[in-house]
């Protein structure tokens, strides 16, 4: 597909230039007519606004690829495990995967990679998988991208799923990007909404871009599988059905020894609550002012019975707190029961990471701070007074 411009029809009105989300259109200096550059993604936004129909999308013949795509059936979820523990995002993806697979009328399968992880299969069935593909191999004992990608690519080539979902985690984003090249498939990163077009059998993959300022819906028309990484905490797991079973298919693969060797694993958050799965989060932003002031937030977290400490990008960039705590587009996405934002202005890049929290409480001096636009309860005030008062009230 490509954008085609009929220069005879173009009147140089400039309507399309203003519409282009990618800044790909400009008016030529000589006659004001429209010109397109490399940034064009053929999204079609300009086609709709052209008053004279000078813009069209050229569609290439893809019938051969479409026929090939017909051979791919079924929805797969990568079952991420670390040190033998299934990650929450896997159960979330099985929940949404179940809905989508039922709409498409296909099986939902989980792909389990690791060493001595067979026992995790039962849980995958209980949370909605019809089948589990298992590769159990010493090369997969520790996660490294190369053998994990090799195993997944081998399974995809053999069993041909029409869609493959993985968590947009450090592991998921690291090796699925290799798989996409190896199996010649399209991959959409970090999706926050997923649906299917049943008639065209397309996975509708929606994700934030430009720092969360716009949302883009992306499809893979011809290539299979349609692959997406999905942000943790945007979908909910199904209630497990104890005793629900399915078919376990073990695939014996000849994997090469890992080229990247794990020397040491360090858990840097041993004594802290991780924001990623926390039920209560107290977050500090630029308004916190200095690293030692996070103590106030820690006291509040303590009074809440052990909340996690979150941080905005501004606080992390200032070096006040480690990036493990960062919430937002370039940090973690969270969905706690209570989210208390202290001195956080609420830039869009922060909001995309926390706006689906159950109850949002914002404390900020500036009554016009954007954070109040998403807060269920906003307190306009100085966090250095309000936070200790909250801690005190909770302890009473």
Q: Which is nearer to another protein, 289 or 381 (CB)?
A: 381
> C-beta of 35: minimal distance to another protein in Å?
11
Q: Which are the contacts of 393, defined by CB distance < 8 A and separation ≥ 6? A: none
> C-beta of 288: minimal distance to another protein in Å?
16
Q: Which is nearer to another protein, 109 or 345 (CB)?
A: 345
Q: Count Cβ atoms below 10 Å from residue 259 Cβ, excluding itself.
A: 9
> C-beta of 113: minimal distance to another protein in Å?
17
* CA-based max dimension of the chain: 76
Q: Which is nearer to another protein, 254 or 265 (CB)?
A: 265
Q: Which is nearer to another protein, 65 or 239 (CB)?
A: 65
Q: Which is nearer to another protein, 249 or 380 (CB)?
A: 380
Cβ-in-10-Å burial (0-12, 13-18, 19+) of 58 comes to exposed
Q: Which is nearer to another protein, 108 or 203 (CB)?
A: 203
Cα 181 from Cα 165, distance rounded (Å): 15
Cα 175 from Cα 258, distance rounded (Å): 13
Q: Which are the contacts of 110, defined by CB distance < 8 A and separation ≥ 6? A: 76, 77, 78, 79, 90, 94, 124, 129, 131, 132, 133
Cβ-in-10-Å burial (0-12, 13-18, 19+) of 305 comes to exposed
Is residue 85 within a helix (H) or strand (E), and if so which, with residue range? strand 85-86
> C-beta of 44: minimal distance to another protein in Å?
7
> C-beta of 36: minimal distance to another protein in Å?
8
> C-beta of 219: minimal distance to another protein in Å?
5
């Amino acid at each position: 597909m490509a954008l085609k411009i009929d220069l005879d029809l173009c009147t140089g009105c400039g309507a399309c230039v203003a519409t282009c989300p990618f800044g790909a259109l400009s008016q030529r200096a000589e006659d004001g007519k429209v010109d397109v550059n490399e940034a064009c993604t053929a999204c079609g936004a300009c086609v709709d606004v052209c008053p004279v129909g000078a813009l069209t999308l050229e569609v290439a013949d893809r019938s051969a690829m479409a026929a090939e795509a017909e051979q791919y059936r079924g929805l797969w979820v990568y079952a991420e495990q670390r040190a033998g523990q299934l990650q929450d995002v896997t159960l979330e993806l099985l929940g949404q995967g179940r809905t989508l697979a039922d709409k498409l009328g296909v099986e939902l399968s989980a792909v389990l990679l690791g060493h001595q992880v067979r026992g995790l299969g039962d849980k995958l069935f209980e949370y909605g998988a019809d089948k589990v593909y298992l590769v159990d191999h010493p090369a997969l004992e520790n996660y490294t991208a190369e053998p994990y990608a090799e195993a997944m690519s081998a399974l995809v080539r053999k069993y041909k799923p029409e869609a493959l979902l993985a968590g947009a985690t450090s592991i998921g984003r690291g090796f699925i990007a290799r798989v996409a090249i190896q199996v010649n498939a399209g991959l959409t990163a970090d999706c926050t909404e997923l649906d299917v077009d049943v008639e065209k059998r397309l996975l509708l993959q929606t994700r934030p871009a430009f720092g969360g300022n716009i949302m883009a819906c992306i499809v893979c028309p011809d290539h299979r599988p349609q692959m997406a990484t999905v942000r943790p905490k945007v979908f909910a797991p199904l209630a497990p059905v104890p005793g629900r079973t399915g078919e376990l298919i073990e695939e014996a693969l000849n994997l090469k020894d890992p080229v990247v060797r794990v020397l040491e694993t360090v858990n840097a958050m041993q004594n802290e609550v991780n924001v990623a799965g926390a039920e209560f989060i107290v977050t500090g932003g630029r308004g916190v002012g200095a690293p030692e002031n996070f103590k106030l937030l820690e006291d509040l977290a303590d009074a809440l019975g052990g909340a996690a400490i979150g941080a905005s990008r501004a606080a992390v960039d200032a070096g006040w707190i480690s990036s493990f705590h960062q919430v937002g587009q370039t940090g973690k996405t969270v969905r706690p029961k209570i989210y208390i934002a202290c001195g956080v202005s609420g830039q869009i890049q922060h909001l995309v990471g926390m706006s689906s929290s159950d109850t949002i409480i914002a404390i900020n001096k500036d009554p016009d701070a954007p954070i109040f636009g998403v807060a269920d309860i906003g307190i306009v005030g100085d966090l250095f007074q309000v936070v200790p008062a909250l801690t005190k009230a909770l302890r009473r």
